[in-house]
Amino acid sequence: MQRLVEIARDPHGALREAAREGKGVVGYFCSYVPVELIHAAGFTPVRMLQGPPPGEVAGRYMQPFCCSFARSLLEGLGDGTYAYLSAVVMPHTCDTIRNLSDLVETAAPGTRVMRLMVPTVTHTAEAADFMLAETEALKEALEDLAGEELDRERLFQSIRLYNRCRDALAGLKGSGLGNRALYAAYLAFQLMDPEEFLALASSLSRGPADRDARAREAGSAESGGAGVALVGGPVPQLEVFDLLQEYGLEVVWDDLCTGSRFAAGAVRENGDPLRALAERYLGRRPCPTKRDPDNRREEELVKGVAAGGARGVVFLQQAFCEFHSFDYPGLKKRLDAEGIPSVRLDLEHPFAPTGQMRTRLQALSEMMGEGR
């Protein structure tokens, strides 16, 4: 467990070392990037989750009203934190990440940028075909970087490996590991070699006694708090989960970009592998940057709360994230109608728990107690 926590807190040392040893590392900016493709091309895929606090580089290129998540990543690309990367894959997600793709090559000269135009629509035949065509283009770019063709069997091997990793993660959910350990595992999955991750995650699923011991090893508080569901974008800071634990809130379900939205759903292991990837990535519960004609996010939130036995919801948003901010009033209204208390915390990098956050969590904790 300790290794997963270390990776979740600071992945750069291990990745730098891997790159020095000749194992290429490719960064990717969001959960719509088919990591299996990067892995099959011979690279370790690493999610771009947290650079240094935004400073000179970010200030030179980005307005302060852009989220600190994106600003921190540009800072890290510009100041050399991510110098070990062979390339970065930048998908079309929000307007900020879309436009950032044009700034990376200037802020971090020499960085190879591969663009992936993920369609905003996920439910139509033409969107599926477009995603497939974009996935094929990404495959070609990765082949060019690797200097060799990527064969079908290798791609299936990577697909199987990532499916096993997702299974292993699913096995950890609801296992009483505690917030910190569970989300350290989620984050580490996105930040390290998947084979090593699979070995570590599998060893964690051995038995309840072991799990508790490993949770303590990870620094998680004891499990058994009041169940909450989390909704939001990327949450790379483990301290957020510690804060929830401080108020006796144990995460039982999530719709986080770095949580289940990233990890849920397997890729089909037969047929055309590229089509299988396109289907899995477009078919997931949509993130706020995608069209959601059937209001799946809202429906699945209510179902997830019920299924997980959550008594409250915490919205975890990156401050200045317009896409999440558009969804928030509707989701909140639905929760209110269902009698489910919720609070919202706006996250900045670096993370520091504010008095307002504490007050809100305290209030939620009390409301959840009253609803018992």
Partner 1 sequence: MAGRLKLPCEGTMKEAMTAYYTEAFTSDRPKAWVTSGAPVELLLAADVIPIFPENYGAMIGAQRLGGDLCSAAGDLGFDDCVCSYARCTIASTERGEGPLGALPAPDLLLACNNGCGTMFKWYEVLSRRFGVPLLFFDTPYCDGEPTPRDREYLVRQLERIIAELGDILGREVDRNRLWETLRLSSDTARLWTGIQELRKARPCPLNSPDMFLHMALIVTLRGTEIAYNYYQEMLAQVRERVEAGIGAVEGERYRLLWDHIPPWYALRDFFGFCAELGACFAVDTYTNVWQGEFDPDHPLESLAECYQKVMPNLRLPWRAAMYVDYIRDYAIDGFVIHSNHSCKSYCLGEYEIARRVTAETGVRGVILEADMVDPKFYSEAQVKQMMAAFLESLD
- Binding site residues, partner 1, CB under 8 A: 60-63, 65-66, 92, 94-96, 98-103, 106, 115, 117, 119-121, 124-127, 129-130, 133-134, 137, 288-289, 291-293, 295, 319-323, 325-330, 332-333
Q: Least distance to partner 1 from the beta carbon of 101, Å?
A: 8
Q: Least distance to partner 1 from the beta carbon of 288, Å?
A: 7
**Buried (b) or exposed (e) across 146-178, using 16+ Cβ within 10 A?**
beeebeeebbbebbebbbbbbebbbebbbbbbb
103 vs 218, which CB is nearer to partner 1? 103
By CB atoms closer than 10 A (0-12, 13-18, 19+), residue 8 is buried
227 vs 232, which CB is nearer to partner 1? 232
206 vs 333, which CB is nearer to partner 1? 333
- Alpha-carbon gap, residue 246 to 151, rounded angstroms: 49
Q: Least distance to partner 1 from the beta carbon of 317, Å?
A: 9
Three-class DSSP category at 87: strand
Helical segments of the chain, H only: 2-9, 12-20, 35-40, 56-61, 68-78, 95-100, 104-107, 125-146, 152-172, 179-189, 194-204, 208-217, 238-246, 260-263, 273-283, 296-308, 322-337, 355-370
Q: Least distance to partner 1 from the beta carbon of 129, Å?
A: 7
138 vs 252, which CB is nearer to partner 1? 138
129 vs 222, which CB is nearer to partner 1? 129
What is the distance between the terminal CA atoms of the chain, rounded to a whole angstrom? 33
Give the CB-side neighbour count of residue 13, counting CA atoms within 13 A.
Answer: 6
Q: Least distance to partner 1 from the beta carbon of 279, Å?
A: 17
172 vs 235, which CB is nearer to partner 1? 235
Q: Give the single-character DSSP code of 149.
A: P
Shortest CA distance to 70 belongs to which of 289, 361, 279, 220? 289
Q: Least distance to partner 1 from the beta carbon of 206, Å?
A: 44
221 vs 316, which CB is nearer to partner 1? 316
Q: Least distance to partner 1 from the beta carbon of 289, Å?
A: 6
